[in-house]
Amino acid sequence: MEKEFIDSIEAFVADSVKIPDQKVALVTSGGTCVPLEKHAVRYLENFSTGRRGALSVEQFLTRGYKVIFLYRDGSCFPYLTQMKNNQEKFLKNLIVGRNGRTTIDDHNFTKLIEEYKKHESSLLALKFMTLQEYLRKLRLVCLALQPLHKRAAVYLAAAVSDFYVPDDKLPLHKIQSSESLALTLERTPKMLGHVAQQWAFNAFVVSFKLETDENILISKCRLALSNYGHQVVVGNLLETRYNNVIIVTSSSVVNVNATSENIEIKLISQLYLMHEQFMTS
Ligand code: PMT
């Protein structure tokens, strides 16, 4: 299983290395979950729909990147999520279509399918569910990206649990409900330092910072940059995450606001330029 997983990533990267100037982005997306039992019935969830990750993948693909998409099983998927949202309108239009009329929604749906088919071979999708599975796979993918040097970008949009129950403290069977439950959670070690300094030390690394208090957002982004020494932190607030983000580097803070289009279009076009600069630095 592990070997198959590593082989698939290494083959994808080896193909990309051969293509001159080919860039590859690792996009992580969706929330991790933490099991509370070994034969797990109950989990603690980190909230994330995976929409940010899925829409960002579409933008990387449009700009010529190949993409490894490490996503929470069942969360949003590039193109398919938008297709599902359009499905109802599409079905209505199908009936209209039989009478010989086409509409703009019908056109949107067909365009999404065409886009998906066009980019399918540039996309390697890998699933995770638990925190442990996410961290194990994140490490393997980052290590496999090393031969690409600066052509690799790591874009960490997944929502990763800061707390977990270590394996040796997990009860084997379902916790019984006859008594009240007191949970002791341990802090998950921060992995960003490993990503930026070891696993993907030569890549362009973008992490995310999610907060609910806007007064601390910029300072937390700056702190992450100084702690982990990577290139960019994208800051966002839970309530407004689809309307505003900030792009923070060691020398600048840029506000990005959504217009009528998805904010990921502007966000990825800015990061694209930064990655180009990084490659020539
Ligand atoms: O999916 P959506 O509903 O569209 O929402 C998008 C989003 C809000 C989830 C996304 O934009 C976002 O902000 N993702 C990061 C959320 C998060 O985990 O933030 P954090 O402050 O807990 O962690 C900051 C960074 O440290 C993250 O890049 C994370 O990958 C990393 N981390 C976290 C925990 C840990 N133990 N080790 C880490 O390295």
What is the domain count for the chain?
Answer: 1
Q: Answer for the pair 264, 59: CB distance below 8 angstroms, yes or no.
A: yes
Q: Is 274 within a domain?
A: no
CA of 103 to the centre of ligand 1 (A): 39
CA of 208 to the centre of ligand 1 (A): 5
Q: Is 41 within a domain?
A: yes
CA of 48 to the centre of ligand 1 (A): 9
Q: Is 195 within a domain?
A: yes
236 lines ligand 1 (CB under 6 A): yes
Structure tokens at 136: 């194990």
208 lines ligand 1 (CB under 6 A): yes
| Predicted ipTM beyond 0.90 | yes
Q: How many CB atoms lie within 10 A of CB 168?
A: 5
Domain residue limits at 92: 2-207
Q: Is 27 within a domain?
A: yes
CATH number of the domain at 17, please.
3.40.50.10300
**For ligand 1, atom 26, which residue shows the shortest CA distance?**
192
CA of 12 to the centre of ligand 1 (A): 26
Distances (CA, A) of 72 to 164, 183, 247, 250: 17, 24, 24, 31
Q: Is 227 within a domain?
A: no
**pLDDT (tens digit per residue) in 132-157:** 999 999 999 999 999 999 999 999 99
Q: Is 91 within a domain?
A: yes
Mutate which of 187, 195, 210, 245 for ligand 1? The one with the most ligand atoms within 8 Å of its CB, which is 210
**Which residue's entry shows tokens 């960019």?**
232
Tens-of-pLDDT digits for all 281 residues of the chain? 689 999 999 999 999 999 999 999 999 999 999 999 999 899 999 999 999 999 999 999 999 999 999 999 999 999 988 777 766 666 666 555 566 665 555 677 788 889 999 999 999 999 999 999 999 999 999 999 999 999 999 999 999 999 999 989 998 998 888 878 888 999 999 999 999 999 999 999 999 999 999 999 999 999 999 999 999 999 999 999 999 999 999 999 999 999 888 999 999 999 999 999 999 98
Q: Is 261 within a domain?
A: no
Q: What is the pTM of this model?
A: 0.93
Q: Is 216 within a domain?
A: no
**pLDDT (tens digit per residue) in 223-278:** 999 999 999 999 999 999 999 999 999 999 999 999 888 999 999 999 999 999 99
